[in-house]
Structure 1
Amino acid sequence: MCKVSVIVITRNEEHNIRECLESIKWADEIVVVDSKSEDKTVEIAKKFTEKVFIKDWEGYGQARNFALLQCRNDWVLWLDADERVTPELKREIEKALQSAGNEIAGFSMPRRACFLGTWIKHCGWYPARVVRLFRKEKAKFSEDKVHEKIIIDGKILRLKSDILHYTDPNLEHYLKKLNTYTSLSAEEYIAQQKDFSIFKLVFNPLWIFVRMYIIKLGFLDGVAGFVLCVLSAYHVFIKYAKLWELSRQLKIKS
């Protein structure tokens, strides 16, 4: 059987990290990169692996690329702290790696999300395929501060079993994350010299809601689906509002 290294990036994940690492304790190696958590995340992680690294936060892409450098195995599985590998996915991974030829660089799998205690089946969230298993020498992460992308050089095959994503157990958690992510996105737009657009501020949030709630059948997910679609539109609105704010501040300074 091919040995697998698993990488997990953490910050203040004491409520998630134990179950996350329990779901991957079968792996040959677990690498945790922590961004100076102020809770018991590191203490819990060290019960599962000796390879726990603490470093300053420089963005998701840089953190994951650092984690890759610490892996000793050819095959790497990337997992977030609020995600779980099911026994079915574990068995499918083991079977897939046994037969993977040299031309295979990675595998994608569907991710099923639990939002506010409800498993989301529509809204464009499921089946949301993500590439999470890959050959180390064939992959790298983009340097984006948020919503980093994995760049794979080679053929990607599809697995059937789900990764489980326990995202946003309550609205307070969602809104805290929204504030962080929208700030990072706005700062990244400024760094990329993207101009503010009143059109995008007004119409992009509306389009997100229409796409998720109507086109992607979010209304079939009940109240949780409606809340998710509204908040997703709000997320986009705040992102562009923050871009406007930063752009205006730069103009005043200049």
Structure 2
Amino acid sequence: MAGYADDLALAHTLADSADSIAMARFRSLDLKVEAKPDLTPVSDADTAVEKAIRATLARARPRDGVLGEEFGRSEAAAGPGTRHWVIDPIDGTKNYVRGVPIWATLIALLEGDTPVVGLVSAPALGRRWWAGRGLGAYAGRHQHAASRIEVSQVRKLTDASVCYASLTGWQENGRLPQLLDVLLGVWRSRAYGDFYGYMLLAEGALDAMAEPELSLWDMAALIPIIQEAGGKVTDLDGRTCADQSSVVATNGLLHESLLTALTPRG
């Protein structure tokens, strides 16, 4: 456990640097934004944050690999239980470039395929979330001003607050009718998007979130936080691998009923 505590402390150091860089460029009039090949935006802040994190990891954890959204993968030292860090320098870039404060740096450590440390830092919201395997999940302004967090105890979908993302993605994967049935049948539905809905889930402020498409760097940091808060994370087919293309995250009590409700009929 001590090893994860050290890694979590390093993740906070990485996040401090990322916050400083990203906040200095947030709402800047000379922010440079380009379109990537998949037509999603990337700003000069995205690349600057990832470069800074990689530089620190190269010094502090030279044997660990790194996978980042903007600069791809650098391999870890070979061997069993290979460790690698997974970085999304700015999750919510579309919000960032429009001046919406709901964006964050996501930092995860994986051992093999298992996320064991996760940190989400949203400096424009003045909030950070983090967890290490066996260490619990926490949220606050920073690591010295934080409280332990837990998921809700809601047991029925009809009583649940459910978050979702990307209606077009649900249409493309053929499950939009199922999602709409869920949203019309629950107590409350909202589309907070990106990291934020998952962190509200971990805090117990909502009860489930589902997303039809995402990448490893979108999810790796969120998994330990949700799990250490008592929740459950799988893909739409109920598989628990980290590198999944879809996600269903719940307080655990709602998980099977939500998976069933999102399964195509016939």
Give the number of the structure with larger relative contact order, counting CA–CA contacts within 8 Å between residues 6 or more apart: 1
Same fold, judged at TM 0.5 (above): no
Larger Rg: 1 or 2? 1
Q: What is the TM-score normalised by the length of structure 2? A: 0.28
- Structure richer in helix, relative to its length: 1
Give the strand-richer structure, 1 or 2: 2
